[in-house]
């Protein structure tokens, strides 16, 4: 276990980071609003799996390779931007915020899991987060791996709770917005533009 006096500051830092709008938050809100809670929860599982991969990679020192090898970092970065732009295009051409059509347009469970995983694993900021944050909240006199694993699991638990809240909120609010705005097409276009904006934001924030 990391020192108890560092747990509360770490929890505060994690809450602040997770409550800051980013790719995961935006994508989960769009999925929850477009295809409902079940689709959102499946996507959360994929996102959480991606977080777990980066967390374990950071604990065992593998994630640093991504930051040190520039071509690998750039490949991951631009793959993430391209994937989000593809999701934006896919949302633009199909899918509906209308609950009556959601069952028809909803991707398969496997596709939702995969999309959630890729949306997170192709975001190098996740690796930067673990590499940059975890060492600052550990005791150098104790073994790093055990402390980092504990802190990483705390972060994943906090992220999971916040992601569930986002999906539940979006699943209730966005279909209502679709009805009041005269249909799901307008909301679907907004979703697509939001995903494109998230892709551009990711490209900007991860530049070197």
**Banded pLDDT at 99 (limits 50, 70, 90):** very low
C-alpha dihedral, 52 to 164 to 120 to 205, nearest 10°: -120
pTM: 0.80
The yes-or-no verdict on residue 117 having pLDDT over 90 is yes
Counting other chains too, the contacts that 51-54 makes at CB distance below 8 Å and 24 or more residues apart are 51/120, 51/126, 51/155, 51/156, 51/159, 52/156, 53/121, 54/120, 54/121, 54/126, 54/127, 54/129, 54/130
Q: Is 163 or 100 the better-scoring residue by pLDDT?
A: 163
Higher pLDDT, 167 or 9: 167
- For residues 25 and 164, give the distance between their C-alpha atoms in angstroms, rounded to a whole number: 10
Which whole number is the average pLDDT over 99-107? 56
Distance CA 201, CA 112 (A): 22
Average pLDDT over every residue of 177-185: 57
- pLDDT, residue 94, reads 63
Of 186 and 131, the structure prediction assigns the larger pLDDT to: 131
Give the percent of the chain with pLDDT over 90.
22
Q: What is the mean pLDDT of the chain?
A: 80
Given a cut of 70, is residue 105 above it in pLDDT?
no
Give me the mean pLDDT over the 104-120 stretch.
86
Domains of the chain: which residue ranges?
A: 24-93+106-205
pLDDT tens digits, 17-69: 888 777 788 889 888 888 889 999 999 999 999 999 988 888 887 767 766 77
């Amino acid at each position: 276990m990391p020192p108890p006096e560092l747990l509360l500051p770490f929890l505060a830092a994690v809450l602040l980071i997770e409550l800051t709008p980013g790719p995961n938050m935006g994508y989960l809100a769009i999925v929850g609003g477009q295809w409902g809670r079940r689709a959102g929860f499946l996507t959360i599982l994929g996102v959480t799996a991606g977080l777990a991969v980066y967390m374990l990679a950071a604990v065992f020192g593998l994630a640093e390779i991504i930051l040190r090898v520039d071509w690998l970092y750039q490949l991951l970065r631009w793959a993430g931007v391209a994937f989000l732009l593809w999701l934006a295009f896919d949302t633009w051409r199909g899918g509906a915020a209308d609950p009556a059509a959601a069952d028809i347009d909803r991707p398969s469970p496997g596709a939702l899991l995969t999309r959630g995983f890729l949306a997170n694993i192709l975001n190098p900021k996740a690796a930067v987060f673990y590499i940059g944050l975890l060492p600052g909240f550990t005791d150098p006199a104790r073994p790093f791996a055990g402390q980092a694993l504990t802190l990483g699991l705390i972060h994943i638990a906090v992220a999971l709770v916040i992601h569930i809240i986002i999906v539940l909120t979006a699943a209730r609010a966005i279909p209502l917005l679709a009805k009041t705005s005269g249909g799901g097409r307008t909301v679907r276009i907004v979703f697509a533009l939001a995903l494109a904006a998230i892709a551009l934001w990711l490209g900007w924030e991860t530049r070197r």
